Structure formats: C-alpha cells, structure tokens
Amino acid sequence: MGRKPKVNKEVKIQACKDYLDGKGTFKSIANSIGVGDDSLRMWVYAFQMHGDNVFDIKESNRSYSKKFKLEIIQAYNNGEDSSFWLATKYNLSNSMVLKWANDYNKGIEVKDYNPMPEVYTMKNKKNH
C-alpha cells in the first residue's frame, strides 16, 4: 500500500504556480486549499529549487548517512541556514531537520539511517 499525501501533486503544483504568478498571497492560496501558509511557502521554495517532481510520492523512506545528518546539524547550529531553508534545499521536512538538531544537542548519538523496505512490507502471520 503506497503513501497518500493529504494534498495531491496537481493541487500543490497549481498552488505554487498561482503564487508565483501573483494570483494571491501565501495565506490566501493556502487558505483556499486548506493548508497552512508555512506549508505552501515550503512547497513553493521546493518547487522552485527541485521542480514538480519534488511532489512525487516516495515508495520508501530515503536513507541518510551520519555524515549528511551532521552537515545539516552543524549548518543549523552554526546559524548558517534556518531549519526551513535547509529542509527546502535538501528536500527534507522542517521537522526532520529540527529533530536531528534537537537530538544531537541533547547528546543523542547521530547514526546512519538506512531503511529496510522489506521490514515494512512483510505480511502479518495472522493475515495468512
């Protein structure tokens, strides 16, 4: 079973185009489709940086190396970039950037993340 976003790709693309074409503000367009204006702002910036494929549904989680996570954390902690900008630049969620930084700052060890899709797709023995 695939992932289903709350707002489909076509609506996101149209909302981005509407904003970029000056057809409304972040707030007015976001309200018209029932999302927060911060979500729309992130979509627009991601759309500008990565194109419309940024809204494609991912079939599995992406993997992140410890080195990559530490680069993001250091950029955030050093004030080089905001969590919002880092998330947009690297096509991450803002909450993920903040979680990595908060965990690191609490002394929680940063580890590689390499999802194993087969773990998530295994059928429950009761369903057989």
The tokens for 88 are 């947009």
Q: What confidence tier does 125 reach under pLDDT thresholds 50, 70, 90?
A: very low
Looking at the domain covering 60-128, what would its CATH class be? mainly alpha
Does the pLDDT value for residue 21 go beyond 90? Answer: yes
Which percentage of the chain shows pLDDT scores above 90? Answer: 62
State the amino acid at position 23 in one-letter form: K
Instruction: Report the half-sphere exposure of 93 (CA within 13 A, side-chain side).
Output: 7
pTM (predicted TM-score): 0.69
Q: Could you read off the pLDDT of 71-110 as tens digits, one per residue? A: 999 999 999 999 999 998 998 888 999 999 999 999 999 9
DSSP three-state, residue 79: coil
Tokens of 7: 């707002």
Higher pLDDT, 20 or 124: 20
